[in-house]
Amino acid sequence: MNPTEREKIERLMRSDRQERPPDDLLVRLREDLPDQAKIPDPDKRERESYFGRPSVWLTAASLAMLFTFTFMLSRITFLDQSTEPDIVTILEQQRRATKISQSAADETPVGAAARRRPADELEPQASTPEATLESAPATAVVADPQPQSPPARVSVVEEKTREERSESAAIGESRESSAVAAAPPPPAAAGAPLARSVSRPAVVRKARLAEEISLPAELRVVFTVDASGRVVEVSVQSQPGLPRREEVESILGQWTFEPGRPGSFELLVQSSDLQPLPG
């Protein structure tokens, strides 16, 4: 519709004639006016209608829910930040840091030499009487965390008696089914802590338990060894249905570690990594 047509429609709809209503109309209307022509209070109605609108209540409810959700979320975040990091997190961080520092050290000739040295030094150390299985039933097997560097592990295996070698063959000791125990780091490796592992059959054997009481994969045991090599404190994190805390404590309570190297250690079944706790 062009402007001309619009103007024409406007002119047709708006009459120029000033029509006047009949004279008696106002009289008739006044006669009909009731004595009480009271309308409801418009201000009150407006307030009521405003709070009576569903959209108002829906908006208020949505805001309340949003506020509650935000508050709860902030509380959860606060609690999460306020709690101390668990021991597993600390150990994991330390393990990563160790790997990073080791890999950095490997890039230099000096670092590579230092990396080879602990394995070389372990052999004579493991051959000492304290490191034998008889004198220390749960002597830790010190192994290089790198899968391609097994010398430390081999050296300890050689320390086993012939009888134990036959036991190991009967039990079917294997690298895949290894549980992890810990021992303090050797002096040579104090600067660059190494992960330590011991095979699960050896753990079972030294605990003088049947193999069917094997430790589950999800089990995490943190235990503390005193200066005499005795396990003095055990902390177990296991899922329901797995071996009870008392069972694990009884297993570890029979162990004796190399004396003179107290500390706290974590036992991770099947992970083959065991890290000493800081401090």
Partner 1 sequence: MDQSASAPPDAAEKELMRRMAAGDRDAAERMLESTYEQIWRALYRMTGDRDQAADLTQDAYRKAWQSIASFDGRSLFSTWLYRIAYTTFLNSLRRPRLVEPLSEETERTATSPDMAADQTVLEHERERRTRAAVMELPDELRFVITAHYWGGLPISEIARAAGITAMGVRKRLRRAQNTLATVLGDLR
Smallest separation (angstroms) from partner 1 to the CB of 83: 53
Burial class (CB in 10 A: 0-12, 13-18, 19+), 241: exposed
* Minimum separation from the CB atom of position 56 to partner 1 (A): 14
In this complex, which beta carbon is closest to partner 1, that of residue 12 or of residue 210?
12
Cβ proximity to partner 1: between 8 and 96 the closer is: 8
Do 207 and 215 touch, CB atoms closer than 8 A? Answer: no
For tokens 């407006």, what's the residue? 46
Residue 106 tokens read as: 């490997």
> Contact positions toward partner 1, by CB under 8 A?
1, 5-6, 8-10, 12-22, 25-26, 28-30, 32-43, 45-46, 49
Nearest approach in angstroms of CB 58 to partner 1 is 19
CB 258 within 8 A of CB 183: yes
**C-beta of 7 vs 226, nearer to partner 1:** 7
Residue 190's Cβ-count burial label (10 Å; 0-12, 13-18, 19+) is exposed
The least distance separating partner 1 from the CB of residue 64, rounded to whole angstroms, comes to: 27
For partner 1, the closer of residues 35 and 134 by Cβ is 35
183: how many CB neighbours lie within 10 A of its CB? Answer: 24
